[in-house]
Amino acid sequence: MMEEPIPVVGGGWAGCAAALTLAQNGCRVALYEAAPILGGRARGVSRDGLPLDNGQHLLLGAYTETLPLLALAHASSAPPISRSRLQIAPLSATQTNAVHLVARDFPPPFGLLCGLLAARGITFSERIATIGGLVRWKRRDWRCAPEVTVAQLLSELPARVGQTLWEPLCLAALNTPTTRASGQVFLNVMRAAFDTSPDGADVVLPRENLSALFPDAAARRLVARGHAVHLRTKATVQSAGTQGVTLRVGDATVAAPAAIVAVGPHQLIHALDGSLHAGTPEIVHALDSVTRLEYESITTVYLGYTGAVAIGAGLVRLDDAPGQWVFDRGDILAHASPGAVSISTLLAVVISANGPHDHRPRDDLAHDCDTQLRRLRPGLPPSVWSHVIAERRATYACTPQAVRPASGAIAPNLYLAGDFTDSEFPATLEAAVRSGRRAAHALVADRR
């Protein structure tokens, strides 16, 4: 190991990925997180004895760097995840404007194409026209002009299929409405999920909260191997040059050979001392880029019921009034603390992107979602508990015009990571992990 530890500022998924990757490459690591818990914008939140997430997340089989890193962090046991083929189904048969699709277990892209051929809720001619559109995208190597939006892409497909299938999936993946979402990033996700690996479209769901899924496991692995993890510790980079970097950690000054900054885009300006704000062109560009980003919210409404509620397998679609998707979070109940609120079923209703729901009082929004579920599924047992978590800056708006800094060196011996630095994927867990690993590999390569 290098004698001097490499500081990683920020204990979200990008920071934890960077720290694990540095450790894999023989570096000593000191991970600093200002909050009392790791995970950043994808973390656990305890309420009334229930280990909730601060927002509902899922992963894809195409997350080619996240899934191996989960396995590394949970080296002594299998990662707490469940994995299944992509399946999209409405909650209720009364949802006439909904598609039921199951991706088939065939080599890509035939798994999706065969799933579309057998899809219910769209006509045979719509299925054929949709497959034709996907084939054209593939022939164009999943590329489009930089300024094209998802709405413009979908205009090549039957309108009803776009509205009932691809618009909801775009909103879930990019957290940005199709009229504003980047067509190229959407195609990147499509290619990764449906055209690169046989299990790319698999849906991967956590069986523990998000902190336990990765950040906490990564921290345990780091500490067990002699690295340092500091919570409730704010670290600010004061200087960066060819001789190394200095950080202000609490009231102390820490010198290090190099450092990685892996904080949220809106936090970047505070992680760099003011003297660095007019530093290298890369720092200036990074700070200018993040100030121009717009943000989209993700709202998760947890509803607890006294009896059993069967919602079906896969991604369960609602009718957008107001919830878009619903998930059974029995895994949370399985890890509830003694004395936790007594409920038999815990559902998570998800609302992606900004909208009128952002201005609803939280109790009213929980009531709205419960009413929605009862309208679609009459006879639900009583709802006795609810909790609303709204992340106002859950992701940046993934628009064609969004200018993002690249992960890697932004000054001598100073490196940047974060989901907002990945130019291929939207603000996902995979983008965060990839950026952290990329920054760590760049640091190690430069020092060697």
For 191-235, write each residue's pLDDT tens digit.
Answer: 999 998 888 889 998 888 999 999 999 999 999 999 999 999 999
Band (293; pLDDT cuts 50, 70, 90): very high
Residue range 387-408: mean pLDDT, rounded? 92
Per-position b or e across 309-346, b if 16+ CB within 10 A of its CB: bebeebbbbbbeebbbbbbbbebbbebbeeebbebebb
Six-digit token pair at 114?
């065969």
Q: What dotted CATH number matches 295-396?
A: 3.90.660.10
* Rounded-to-integer distance, Cα 186 and Cα 182, Å: 6
3-class secondary structure per residue, 130-155: HHHHHHHHHHCCCCCCCCCEHHHHHC
* Statement: residue 250 has pLDDT above 70: yes
Among residues of the chain, what percentage have pLDDT more than 70? Answer: 100
pLDDT tens track for 128-186: 999 999 999 999 999 999 999 999 999 999 999 999 999 999 999 999 999 999 999 99
Instruction: Give the model's pLDDT for residue 1.
Output: 44
Residue 61 has pLDDT above 90, yes or no: no
CATH 3.90.660.10 intervals, the chain: 295-396
Confidence of residue 401 (pLDDT cuts 50, 70, 90): confident
Q: What are the angstrom distances between the C-alpha of 307 and each of 13, 40, 118, 120, 318? A: 35, 33, 34, 30, 21
On the CB side of 274, CA atoms within 13 Å amount to 0
Residue 55: predicted pLDDT = 87
Give the pLDDT score at 433: 97
Please name the fold of domain 6-73+207-294+401-447: FAD/NAD(P)-binding domain (3.50.50)
Q: Kindly state the helix (H) or strand (E) to which residue 170 belongs, with its residue range.
A: helix 167-174
Angle CA 401–283–183, to nearest 5: 20
Binned at pLDDT 50, 70 and 90, residue 406 comes out as confident
The pLDDT of residue 125 is 95
pLDDT beyond 80 at 391: yes
The CATH 3.50.50.60 domain(s) of the chain lie at 6-73+207-294+401-447
What is the mean pLDDT of the segment spanning 102-123?
90
- Cβ distance 263 to 12 under 8 Å? yes
Q: What is the pLDDT of residues 341-358, one digit of tens each?
A: 999 999 999 999 999 999
Q: Give the three-class secondary structure for 221.
A: helix
Residue 393 host element (H or E): strand 383-396
Q: Which long-range contacts (CB under 8 A, 24 or more apart) does 158-162 make?
A: 158/122, 158/125, 158/126, 158/129, 158/130, 160/97, 160/122, 160/126, 161/99, 161/122, 161/126, 161/129, 161/130
- Largest pairwise CA distance in the chain: 68
By three-state DSSP, how is residue 246 classified?
A: strand
Q: In 3D, which of 437, 408, 435 has the Cα closest to residue 424? A: 435
Q: Do the strands 50-53 and 59-60 form a parallel or antiparallel pair, or are they unpaired?
A: unpaired
Query: Which regions of 67-216 does DSSP assign to beta strands (E)?
Result: 81-84, 87-90, 101-102, 203-206
Average of pLDDT values for 353-379? Answer: 96
Terminal alpha carbon distance of the chain: 13
Tell me the mean pLDDT in the region 96-124.
89
Give me the pLDDT at residue 46, please.
94
Tell me what pLDDT residue 97 has: 81
Residue found under tokens 């990147």: 188
- CA 82 to chain CA mean position, Å: 17
Q: Tell me which H or E stretch contains 189.
A: helix 183-194
Per-residue model confidence as pLDDT tens digits over 266-285: 999 999 999 998 889 999 99
Q: Tell me what percent of the residues of the chain surpass a pLDDT of 90.
A: 84
Mean pLDDT of the chain: 94
Give, as one character, the DSSP assignment of residue 421: G
Handedness of CA 277, 265, 388, 13 (dihedral sign): negative
**Tokens linked to 263:** 């904080």
Mean pLDDT calculated for residue range 53-67 = 89
Count of CB atoms situated within 10 Å of the CB of 36: 7
Question: How many other CB atoms are found less than 10 A from the CB of residue 159?
Answer: 10
